Amino acid sequence: MPYRVGFCSLGCKVSQYETEALAERFAAAGFAVSDFDSVCDVYVVNTCTVTLESDRKSRQMIRRAVRLNPSAVVLVTGCSSQLHPDEVAAIPGVSYVTGNERKMHLPDVALDLLARPKAGARVEVSDLADAPYEAASITRAPRTRAFVKIEDGCNCRCAYCAIPLARGPVRSKRPEDVIAEVSRLVGNGTREIVLTGIETAAYGIDLDGYRLVDLISDLAEKTAVERIRLSSLSPEMMTPATVSRLAAIPKLAPHFHLSLQSGSDPVLAAMRRPYRTKNVRAALSALRDAIPGVTFTTDVIVGFPGESEENFAETVAFCREARFLRLHVFPYSPRPGTPAATFPGQIPGEEKRRRVRELVKAGKEVARDLYFDLIARKTPLSVLFETRDGEIWTGHSETYIEVKVRSVERLAGEIRRVIPTALSGDGVTGTLAE
């Protein structure tokens, strides 16, 4: 009987991708990949440290693995273990701790530890300052939309963020490796890819003149993928030349997740973000002029130290003006080792939660108006269907709107035109166009 391995992935799409790549590596090494909540011989917990709550959940899942099978080999990797290896190693039952450099070696580590009497945790966490890009790839995705990691690390030093400490500097995957990976995915049924990284817009700064827009162009021309989507981008990337090139790529989905974090210039300055609201306005305007029907989503942090009620009101007003399709709103969480953790003017927790609620409400009102406009104009949407619940199929449009239709047809993996007819939660319902 093969050894059984279960995976728990916490945090961002990069971590989820890495866990998928690890699962393929374990399967290739002869392991049977099982559900994390089943009794396994090996557990892999890919941790997150973006907030204090993320660290807490990471520790919680490690302890869950130990409870499920106290004699199992428990391997811990990812951002939280990169920053807090000794704290993770001190959890009873942990067998091995690494960070963000040796993930893809974990099958070999597991086989080695399975052959030994169980002992204390082994810790192998390195400084990432000079780390190379760790080769990782997937050959198939759980759905017909696949996330593809193209970059690791971040060179920004935002005052609130611990991720550069946990991920190191920017390192890019070689273009030929990305192209080969996407080609394999398409051969196994993938129709849409989402290019993702820790700082996706920085892709290629270490590749001698080859940048993200070059990669997108090559993927569109050299692979049979039907739709290319981008994960979070910094607004200052959207120069006139870049926007012009992006608009000329038919396979590029007309949806952009532009990082905002705040709609108040004083707060952006305190955060040490490399742009101001005028840059975001310019990016939104340029993309809307160049790409008809384009939509935008964004992330916002509220309750940053020193954020006044006036500053917060500026953020609410900016988000309404920008007409974001969706807002991901987070209360500021102090991270040890970051400058903002020691800033004066820390906002009380209940006030941060109030601001989250108010901004989320404003975002939903904007989205509702956008959906009503689509419904009124009967704007056709090109939808890639992924899941079903009875006769209800769910997918996402090219503009990243969640769409539901009722159909007895099998729509999984199909791209179909849908006419929106009504609101449905955070998206719309519709009917298949003839």
Burial of 260 (0-12, 13-18, 19+ CB in 10 A): buried
Quick check: 149 and 177 in contact, CB under 8 A? no
Would you say 111 and 26 are in contact if contact means Cβ atoms under 8 Å apart? no
What's the token pair of residue 186?
């398409």
Contacts (Cβ under 8 Å, ≥6 apart) of 302: 312, 315, 329, 330, 331, 332, 352, 355, 356, 359
Asked whether 8 and 46 are in contact (CB, 8 A), the reply is yes
Which one, of 150, 229, 227, 225, lies nearest residue 188 by Cα?
Answer: 225
Is the distance from CB of 79 to CB of 168 less than 8 angstroms?
A: no
**Distance between CA atoms of 280 and 8, rounded to whole angstroms?**
36
pLDDT beneath 70: ranges in the chain? none
Residues in the chain: 434
E strands, 10-138, are: 32-34, 42-47, 73-78, 96-98, 122-124
pLDDT at 402: 97
Fold of 4-124: Rossmann fold (3.40.50)
Report the DSSP pairing between strands 415-424 and 381-389.
antiparallel
Rg (CA), the chain: 22
What is the domain partition of the chain in residue ranges?
4-124, 145-375, 378-432
What is the spatial distance between Cα 30 and Cα 325, in angstroms, rounded to a whole number? 44
Taking domain 145-375, whether its CATH number is 3.40.50.2300 is answered by no
- C-alpha to C-alpha distances, 188 to 33, 304, 321, 416, nearest whole angstrom: 19, 44, 42, 20
DSSP 132-195: PPPP---S--SSSEEEEEEEE------TT--HHHHH-S-EE--HHHHHHHHHHHHHTT--EEEE
What are the phi and psi torsion angles at 358 (to 5°)?
Answer: -65, -40
Q: What is the pTM of this model?
A: 0.93
Amino acid letter for position 125: V
* CATH superfamily to which 378-432 belongs: Nucleic acid-binding proteins (2.40.50.140)
Report the alpha-carbon distance of residue 430 to residue 351 in Å, rounded: 39
